[in-house]
Amino acid sequence: MANTYTQIHIQAVFSVQNRLCVIRPEWETSLYRYITGIIQNNGHKLLAINGMSDHIHIFFGLRPSQSLSSLMQDVKANSSKWINQNNFVAGRFSWQEGFGAFSYSKSQISQVVDYIENQKTHHKTITFTEEYIKFLEDFDVLFDERYIFRPV
């Protein structure tokens, strides 16, 4: 799109279906590389990706050529397909419906990157649900607790 200039930094967060802890260390780096490829192939710029066995955080520069919902649909559908084709989990893998997305200014980039890169340490003291609700509250996002990512 000619004469379109943007600076949109988004952190997206989503969970494995039913919050199952199935993302294993043996293949999580490959998963992150695969998701990075999806984001880059859609014209966006990956800034950080990391997570835990039950959820991931992706921080990226969003280009206006694609909606956030469309990008998340691509990421989740294609990464689920890739996980299933590689038989990384017993049964069928899927991501939980929905996602959280939070925007940041340029001055916050290094802070968010550090936060995402330190997920393993961070989650020694806070659960995913606590973390996610804190994001929603900090960003003044109205939410219905019935639809918060919850374990089975």
- For the segment 26-71, what is each residue's pLDDT rounded down to a tens digit? 999 999 999 999 999 999 999 999 999 999 999 999 999 999 999 9
Q: What is the pLDDT of residue 108?
A: 98
- Residue 150 clears pLDDT 80, i.e. is over it: no
pTM metric for this prediction: 0.92
Q: What is the pLDDT of residue 1?
A: 63
- Would you kindly state where each structural domain of the chain is located, as residue ranges? 9-147
Predicted pLDDT at 27: 98
Q: Residue 19 — pLDDT band, cuts 50, 70, 90?
A: confident
Question: CATH homologous superfamily of domain 9-147?
Answer: Transposase IS200-like (3.30.70.1290)
pLDDT at 114: 97
Q: What is the pLDDT of residue 4?
A: 85
Q: Is the pLDDT of residue 2 over 90?
A: no
At 97-143, the pLDDT tens digits run 999 999 999 999 999 999 999 999 989 999 888 999 999 999 999 98
Q: How confident is the model at residue 96 (pLDDT cuts 50, 70, 90)?
A: very high
Q: What is the enclosing helix (H) or strand (E) of 81?
A: helix 68-85
- Residues 6 or more apart from 106 whose CB is under 8 A from it? 7, 9
Please tell me what DSSP assigns to residue 125: T
pLDDT at 152: 52
**pLDDT > 70? residue 151:** no
Q: Round to whole Å and give the CA distance between 49 and 13.
A: 10
Of residues 122, 136, 129, the one with CA closest to residue 15: 129
